Structure 1
Amino acid sequence: MTSKVNIKVLKGQDAENKVLDYIKRINRPYGAVDVSANLKGTVPKPATQKILLALAEKGEVTQKTYGMRIHPARIHTIMISIIARASGKATLFVANQNTLDALPEHTIKALADETDTLVESNKVLAGELKTASAGAANEHLKNTLTLLAAELAKMRLAPTDAELAAQIAQAESKVRASPLLPSSSHCTTVLRATHNKQIAKLRAHIEPLREGTPLVSAAELDTLDADWTRWRAEWVRRRKVFYNFWALVSDSLSPPDAEQLAEDLGIEYDTPEHVELERGPLCALANVSKRR
């Protein structure tokens, strides 16, 4: 046999405060019987009825009596038992809506103004972020163009195939026409060997040009690799900053609103080509080097 739980019965002002707090918190129409039942008997039914009537006289709650012909859909389902009472009428009580805590008009206006200010600030920050990203990309492009222009200038200064062929022919003519001592056959052999080496060196120099191979030194390649690593790391960092910032901005927005805001701000995400490049061996090699 289960033992009964002792319930502390409230009286006086404590009971009135309990009933009023419940009515305001629920903010739905209830009768005295249901209020007492929902309070688990801490305020008896007769006391609850008296308290609600007293609160109605004070203006803390609104009292209304319904007849039997009232449609049940207009009253909470829990009230049906009250409507069916022998008296034929049900008295319901609900919190006075004018006394409930609500934001004043000036506070609502201040919050709306603050929201508009934050939206404008977000637009400005998004524009600055876009400008900064474009500036970094332009700087990288400028450095790349400078390196390419320097390489092009070197190639333009290099002799053409026809000029190299003419220089080789001239060197061979000088070798054949050079005055040699009649008694110095050894000297002639040494000179011819030296000139032959020079000719071979010149031919080896023009061979890459004939094949169309670009002449890029190891130092220049190291510079290009360093620039690539540096600016890609900067791009990755800025992309992370953007995603963190965008998460803060769009956290309270629905997906359609977030998409519309991104379109209004002119935000452009990575194209499929960019995504494919990030998954390619070039970026994979950069990621491996960074982890090391």
Structure 2
Amino acid sequence: MPPKADKKDKVVTVKGNEAEEKILDYMRGVSHPARSAADLRRTALTRACYLACAQPTEKGSLTVKTYGKQTIFVFSQSQLTALNPEDMATLDADTKKAKGVADKRRKELRDLQAKIGEQEALPVTTDLVKTIESVTAENDLTIKTLGPLRGETAVAPMTADEMMAIDVEWDKWKKMWVDRKKVYKNLIDILAESPAYSNKEDLEDTVGVDDDDDETVEIERGEFFRPPTNTVRVGLAKRPLPSAMSASAPGVAQSLSSAKASSTPTSTTKTKRPRV
């Protein structure tokens, strides 16, 4: 079904005094005649408007002014209510007071907006933990850096647990390095026996194996890679010291010295007799 047409607004018709009051209320609310002409254009006929305004004009409620062929009806200014000077002063004081309150509220609004901006610039609660940890670490590093300037030692002494942890870590990586070096050496020796290669150097050159750098060679020759020296020479073989014989036991060094002295044969020298 086609949509129903919109119902037109019902026009209310008034007559007599009621119509006159409607006209006066309308003319009283219009600020200037041009406004009334614009509002009535295409709404009411010019003759009908003229007849409607003629009766209030005869009673003095409206004032008619003629400009050429135009007739303008204006509400009589004498019938408008005007405030006395006291009421005007009161309204002026109220206006100034309201303006002061508005300025105060406007300033409070700016302050609140500034505080809201400061709060929004702060980190959120979920990021506070990470921020505190970062600031604490930076603060500790700064204090540690300023330590030598305050007369403190530049390097803090290490505890026994820290030294033990470093030794364990070093032994782990040292064993891994030695094992891999041993596997590599055995593999190179096996491949070097092939007729395709004359010696091990040619094999390493063909495969593309680089020699160890100077730092690695220096570390391998250093004290960290040296075998333990806690041994005693007995005959021609080296045997490790028993656990009971440690460097801390009293008299161990003296016993070793005396045993070595007793086992070493003494040489005798003959003195030559002078000839007679």
Q: TM-score, normalised by structure 1?
A: 0.29
Q: TM-score, normalised by structure 2?
A: 0.31
Q: Identify the structure with bigger relative contact order (alpha carbons < 8 Å, sequence gap 6+).
A: 1
| Larger radius of gyration between Structure 1 and Structure 2 | 2
Structure with the larger helix share = 1
